[in-house]
Structure 1
Amino acid sequence: MKIIKNTVLLVIFLSTLQGISQEILTKKEALEITLENNFGVKIANNNLEVAKNNKSIFNTGFLPTVSVFSGANYSNDDQTITRQDGTSTTVNGAVTKSYSASVGLDYTLFDGLGRRYNYKQLKETYNLTELQAKETIENTYLQLFTAYFQIARLSENRNNLSEALTISKQRLERAKYQYDYGQSTRLELLNAEVDVNNDSIALISARQQLSNEKRGLNIILGVEKKVDYVVETEVEFIGMMNFVDLEAKTLANNSLLKQNEKNIAISEFNIKVNKANYLPTLALSTSYDWGKSENPATSFLAGSTSNGLNAGLSLSWSLFDGGSTKTNVANAKISLENQQILLEQQKITIQNNLKNTWDTYNNQLFIIGAQEKNVATTQNNFDRTEERYKLGQVTSIEFRQAQINLINAKTALNNAKFDTKLIELQLLQLSGDILNVSF
């Protein structure tokens, strides 16, 4: 018996020491770690960098192209030349050498404004990628805090189960004493043992589930953390605006709607880019050339050197390209119409989601108030039942039922509290305001 007591004291001491040494992962710290290390956020930032490179002046065709060319030729031949008078000369090993170099510049002066519209299209593509990155971060916010608050929920439920197990163990000790002194039956003792076992199993399962959720959070964080950390369990609700203002804010700032607006702008520029093929292209070409040659005795000239500037303009106009430009313009117009239809569809869908989420949010706030009253009532009932149980005025079954009612009420309140917070985050995401919330 002394060994058992010492073991219990040791477990309590180690548990207390572990509780003191546990790291607290705050919501703010979790957000900072995620934004720095999350894999999806990293990819979104890289995609944004690619879009930034694509909209650069170097990718628009507005700059000229400059090229340098140089070359040298050497030949060693046996040559025989015959003159008009019939005489001939033979030269063995006639060497010919030539050298050349040039610097050339080519520039398209006019291409039907295709470059201009393409440049504007690339800028809108960058803005679209920026919105896509924002949406990725918004989704990561929601994913992060869904996991974080799930851990907080399980932590609170685990604490409730731990408290219930402590009460059940105290009841078991009381049942043992009463049985030893003949004040209780063997059945009362067995019931108490069964309840302790059931509460122990529930607590072990809760701890395992909590560890699994923490490992899942590690994936979102993008780092490997030991699962012995704890999280903040306090829940603070943001005072949401009225529905009319919330709906207006959603239609103005929702990430999906903003992306579709950019897709419409891109489609409009795509039509103009294709129409540019109807117009002519005017190009400038200029170069500076240098050349030198050394000829054998059989040649009329012993050698020559040349250098100079060359320039020219070229105009090209495709009067008929088989109808490909006409087809491309028609398809671009259809693509624009599809984007406009999609925008209207998204507006209706998002408005519907907003209304449903808003109603659910307000219902959850009511449920929290009702569950708080339930907890107060069941706590009062449990306290009174516990007093009467100690006085022997109620059975262990009645006491256990009061205990179960209290656990269920606390769990229901806990679940309602965190469910409401997650719904609130969904409202913030729909309205495009989730990134502006400080945690």
Structure 2
Amino acid sequence: MKIVNSCIYLLISVLSAQISAQVQDSVLTKEEVVARALESNYGIEIANNQVEIAENNQSILNSGYLPSLLGVAGANYDLNNRTTEPEDGDILEQRGLENNSYNASLNLSYTLFDGLGRFYNFKSLKEQYNLSQLEARETIENTMLQLLSIYYEIARLTENIQVLEETLEVSKERVLRAQYQFDYGQTNNLAVLNARVDVNNDSVILIDTRQQLANSKRDLNVLLNREISAIDFAVDTTVNFIPELQVENFLSTAEANNVSLLQIERNIAISEYDIKISRSRYLPAIGLNGSYGWNRNRSAATAFFPGSTTITDGLSAGVSLNWAIFDGGQTAVQVQNAKINYANQELIREQIELEVERDIANALNNFKNKLYIFRIQEENVATNLDNFERSREEFSLGQIASIEFRQAQVNLLNARTSLNLAKYDAKLAELQLLQLTGQLLNVEL
């Protein structure tokens, strides 16, 4: 039994030394975490790349407004044998007759009018770019919420470890006191055994919490694209809440800032342009074309004609009109489907508006409840701390039994860990509310 206790004490000493070393480690602030995530998080990088693709798509180079210039060149070579048999006369045989030709041209084409299809397509591409920015913002918001959830979990576990260390120290003092009392015949060996059991239990809880802390730090490193084993850092455990008046202001502008509502507005605009793009096929398309060509042909001599070389070059230009007077009803079907899709987007908007209103109401109520619980837990800690100090004094005077003191110690431990949980639960509830009101990226964390 003494050997086991000695091993436990040694393990706790090593853990305490590691904790002390971590306290001296650099503090990774929330601002640094967010900046690192914006720079290195894989999901955010992918979202930014999608925005870049959409930006390229909405460029004038992808609009159809610029002309196209096509260069064409070619060469042909023929090597033939020819036999000529006139009705009267000798047969003429020719071997190795060579013919070759070369050509080159520049062809310019430009669409003057296409029923306004490219005009509305260009506007649609710009709306798709705006939509991609909102999608990237949504990715960033979700990543930030996940990131801060893990960050605050690290902070909670860090504070819990501090509480558990203090609890363990009190339990170890109790073991020494029980041992002295047993040595002087003031108590039996059962009190010493009970005190040692409590030390063992407190040690196991501390070890388990430290493992949870290490795991959470690795989770944070994954989101930050950092070395997984780099867990020798501390976090800021300071928590500040948004003033109530500021929260009210955020709620009043939630409809204009919620990313889901902004996305559906962009989708509706794109659907409206899709209708106009489909209708453009009812109108004719007018185009210009021009070309400059050069050709060189060299033919071998025949029995009746000598060989010759012909070179031609010149310009040509024209105007074209294309009008699908009837295309079998394909355009009519496309217009009808585009209108149905537009109607669906309107229905989706109504659904999202209701869902966002519900989510904000739930998040607001949840935040208020979590904040209220946090205030109650603060009072609960103060009460249990007072009770613990009184019990500690009475225990030292021998007025209460060891089991009663242990109960006061456990009550204080539970109250302090519950306070830590309530504090960070309230902060996460606030972050969820800020995300729904579209302010998560606009406030100081």
Q: TM-score, normalised by structure 2?
A: 0.92
Q: Counterpart in 2 of 1:383?
A: 389
The letter of the residue matching 2:70 is S
C-alpha deviation, 1:300, in angstroms: 6.8
The letter of the residue matching 1:129 is S
Does the 8 Å contact 1:147/1:217 carry over to 2? yes
Does the 8 Å contact 1:247/1:351 carry over to 2? no
1:276 maps to 2:272: no
Q: Counterpart in 2 of 1:328?
A: 334
1:139 maps to 2:145: no
C-alpha deviation, 1:16, in angstroms: 7.2
C-alpha deviation, 1:312, in angstroms: 1.2
1:264 maps to 2:268: yes
Trace 1:315-354 onto structure 2 (pairs within 5 A). Answer: 315-354=321-360
Q: Counterpart in 1 of 2:58?
A: 55
The letter of the residue matching 1:170 is E
Trace 1:69-148 onto structure 2 (pairs within 5 A). Answer: 69-79=72-82, 91-148=94-151
1:37 maps to 2:46: no
Count of residue pairs the alignment pairs up: 437
C-alpha deviation, 1:294, in angstroms: 2.1
Q: Counterpart in 1 of 2:152?
A: 149
1:186 maps to 2:189: yes
Q: Counterpart in 1 of 2:212?
A: 209
366-375 or 205-214, which moves further after superposition?
366-375
Distance in 2 between residues matched to 1:283 and 1:12, nearest whole Å: 80
Distance in 2 between residues matched to 1:355 and 1:88, nearest whole Å: 104
**Root mean square deviation of aligned Cα:** 2.4
Distance in 2 between residues matched to 1:280 and 1:200, nearest whole Å: 83
The letter of the residue matching 1:260 is I
The letter of the residue matching 1:173 is L
Structure 1 residues 420, 389: CA separation in 2 closer, same or farther (over 3 Å shift)? same
C-alpha deviation, 1:90, in angstroms: 5.2
Distance in 1 between residues matched to 2:10 and 2:215, nearest whole Å: 28
C-alpha deviation, 1:262, in angstroms: 0.4
What is the DSSP-based 3-state SS (H/G/I as helix, E as strand, rest coil) of the residue aligned with 1:434? Answer: coil
247-256 or 72-81, which moves further after superposition?
72-81
Distance in 1 between residues matched to 2:416 and 2:23, nearest whole Å: 25
What is the DSSP-based 3-state SS (H/G/I as helix, E as strand, rest coil) of the residue aligned with 2:441? Answer: helix
Structure 1 residues 422, 243: CA separation in 2 closer, same or farther (over 3 Å shift)? closer
* Aligned residue among 254, 268, 293 for 2:297: 293
Structure 1 residues 220, 345: CA separation in 2 closer, same or farther (over 3 Å shift)? same
Does the 8 Å contact 2:23/2:234 carry over to 1? no
Distance in 2 between residues matched to 1:312 and 1:9, nearest whole Å: 91
Structure 1 residues 192, 405: CA separation in 2 closer, same or farther (over 3 Å shift)? same
Structure 1 residues 427, 10: CA separation in 2 closer, same or farther (over 3 Å shift)? closer
What is the DSSP-based 3-state SS (H/G/I as helix, E as strand, rest coil) of the residue aligned with 2:344? Answer: helix
* Aligned residue among 226, 229, 235 for 2:233: 229
Distance in 1 between residues matched to 2:87 and 2:244, nearest whole Å: 106
Does the 8 Å contact 1:79/1:90 carry over to 2? yes
Distance in 1 between residues matched to 2:346 and 2:16, nearest whole Å: 66
What is the DSSP-based 3-state SS (H/G/I as helix, E as strand, rest coil) of the residue aligned with 2:438? Answer: coil
Q: TM-score, normalised by structure 1?
A: 0.93
What is the DSSP-based 3-state SS (H/G/I as helix, E as strand, rest coil) of the residue aligned with 2:218? Answer: helix
Q: Counterpart in 2 of 1:411?
A: 417
Does the 8 Å contact 2:120/2:277 carry over to 1? yes
The letter of the residue matching 2:102 is Y
**C-alpha offsets along residues 10-59 of structure 1, whole Å, 9 cap, x if unaligned?**
75994476245423211111111111111100100111111111111221
* Aligned residue among 256, 260, 263 for 1:252: 256
Does the 8 Å contact 1:110/1:282 carry over to 2? yes
Tell me the percent identity: 48
Trace 1:156-167 onto structure 2 (pairs within 5 A). Answer: 156-167=159-170
Q: Counterpart in 2 of 1:428?
A: 434
**C-alpha offsets along residues 220-258 of structure 1, whole Å, 9 cap, x if unaligned?**
111115223111111111114377643331110001110
Segments of structure 1 that go 5 or more residues without pairing to the other structure are: none
Segments of structure 2 that go 5 or more residues without pairing to the other structure are: none
Does the 8 Å contact 1:148/1:231 carry over to 2? yes
